[in-house]
């Protein structure tokens, strides 16, 4: 069973993303074992140091609010960000200014033709692709902008995380003026997990709250599926690590960090 496209009027799930959502994202960082942006960028650089030529131009897919692009630019890289959400690109533009190239586009299509020295996609964004076919098409699109020997680094919520560890699990926080509930709902016999998010924002002195709700369908991919899709797309090597460390991914890994070599 696959997710169906949203109606056009609801296509941008991040239209309500605001400062409150940014605060909640910062709070949630680490609660589920997700790596911090600085750790992620450190890992990128450790991969790039093993490449034959220096990395200067970096393309980030599903760049969101631009927090990784900002760190990369601060470290001297020329960066380009792609995201499918106009709202998230507006946040990225506000954070990064006009010098950074930001492009609206949604995987598996890649509306960028210029070659990159490295491509990255953190934040488990590829879990939103509904099945092996779309994953393979995304890999092929990335391969077209990467010269031979260059790398595509991304992370995935593992099959173990989505179908076992976080299945029917929830997380909640109350920050006074702001509260939220995260709920993971995994239906047996499927390859996906529905992730429901409710944000409660205080709107006045009477204690009233505005409620914003979104649901994301996250698709779980077994490692052999990811590796085969990468090789079929033109990558010659596919290595997987445990959450932006040098440890190989294990059966209980929650976040898989993949490094594909073109």
Q: Is the pLDDT of residue 6 over 60?
A: no
Please enumerate in sequence order all residues whose Cβ is within 8 A of that of 232, keeping only pairs 6 or more positions apart, or say none: 136, 139
Greater pLDDT, 153 or 199: 153
Annotated domain spans of the chain? 32-157+222-261, 162-218
Residue 211: the pLDDT is 85
Whether 235 shows a pLDDT value over 90: the answer reads yes
pLDDT at position 135:
98
Structure confidence at residue 9 (pLDDT): 43
DSSP label at residue 98: S
> CATH number of 32-157+222-261: 3.40.50.720, 3.40.50.150, 3.40.50.10860, 3.40.50.670?
3.40.50.150
Burial of 260 (0-12, 13-18, 19+ CB in 10 A): buried
DSSP state, residue 145: T
- Using 50, 70 and 90 to split pLDDT, how confident is the model at 177? confident
Give the phi and the psi of residue 153 in degrees, each rounded to 5: -115, 130
Q: Is the per-residue pLDDT at 18 higher than 80? A: no
pLDDT tens-digit readout, 143-171: 999 999 999 999 999 999 999 988 878 88
- CA distance linking residue 59 with residue 57, whole number of Å: 7
Q: What is the mean pLDDT of the chain?
A: 89
Q: What is the CATH number of domain 162-218?
A: 2.20.25.110
Q: Are 28 and 240 in contact (CB under 8 A)?
A: no
pLDDT(243) > 70: yes
pLDDT interval class at 213 (50, 70, 90): confident
List the Cα angle 2/4/8 in 5-degree steps. 160
Predicted local distance difference test score (pLDDT) of residue 14: 53
Q: What is the pLDDT of residue 195?
A: 87
Q: What is the pLDDT of residue 12?
A: 52
Q: 74, 4 in Cβ contact below 8 A?
A: no
Residues of the chain above pLDDT 70, percent: 91
Please state the pTM of the whole predicted model.
0.88
**φ/ψ (deg, to 5) at 184:** -105, 125
The Cα–Cα gap between 77 and 118 comes to 11
Q: How confident is the model at residue 5 (pLDDT cuts 50, 70, 90)?
A: very low
The pLDDT tens digits of the residues spanning 55-100 come to 999 999 999 999 999 999 999 999 999 999 998 999 999 999 998 9
- Banded model confidence at residue 178, pLDDT cuts 50, 70, 90: confident
Mean of pLDDT values over 205-218:
82
| % of the chain beyond a pLDDT of 90 | 66
Residue 29: the pLDDT is 72
Q: H helices within 97-173, ranges in order?
A: 132-144, 159-160
Residue 89 is predicted with a pLDDT of 94
């Amino acid at each position: 069973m696959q997710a169906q496209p949203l109606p056009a009027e609801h296509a941008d799930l991040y239209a309500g993303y605001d400062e409150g959502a940014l605060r909640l994202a910062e709070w949630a960082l680490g609660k589920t074992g997700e790596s911090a942006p600085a750790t992620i960028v450190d890992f990128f650089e450790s991969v790039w140091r093993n490449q034959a030529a220096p990395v200067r131009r970096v393309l980030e897919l599903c760049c969101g609010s631009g927090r990784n692009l900002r760190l990369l630019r601060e470290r001297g890289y020329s960066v380009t960000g792609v995201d499918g959400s106009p709202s998230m690109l507006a946040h990225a533009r506000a954070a990064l200014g006009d010098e950074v190239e930001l492009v609206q586009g949604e995987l598996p299509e890649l509306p960028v033709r210029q070659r990159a020295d490295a491509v990255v996609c953190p934040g488990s964004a590829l879990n939103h692709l509904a099945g092996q076919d779309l994953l393979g098409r995304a890999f092929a699109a990335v391969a077209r902008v990467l010269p031979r020997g260059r790398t595509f680094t991304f992370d995935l919520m593992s099959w173990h995380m989505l179908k076992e560890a976080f299945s029917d699990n929830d997380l909640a926080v109350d920050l006074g003026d702001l509260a939220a509930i995260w709920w993971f709902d995994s239906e047996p016999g499927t390859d996906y997990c529905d992730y429901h998010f409710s944000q409660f924002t205080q709107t006045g002195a009477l204690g009233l709250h505005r409620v914003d709700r979104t649901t994301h369908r996250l698709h779980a991919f077994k490692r052999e599926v990811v590796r085969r899709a990468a090789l079929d797309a033109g990558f010659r090597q596919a290595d997987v690590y445990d959450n932006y460390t040098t440890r190989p991914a294990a059966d209980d890994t929650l976040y898989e960090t993949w490094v594909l070599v073109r």
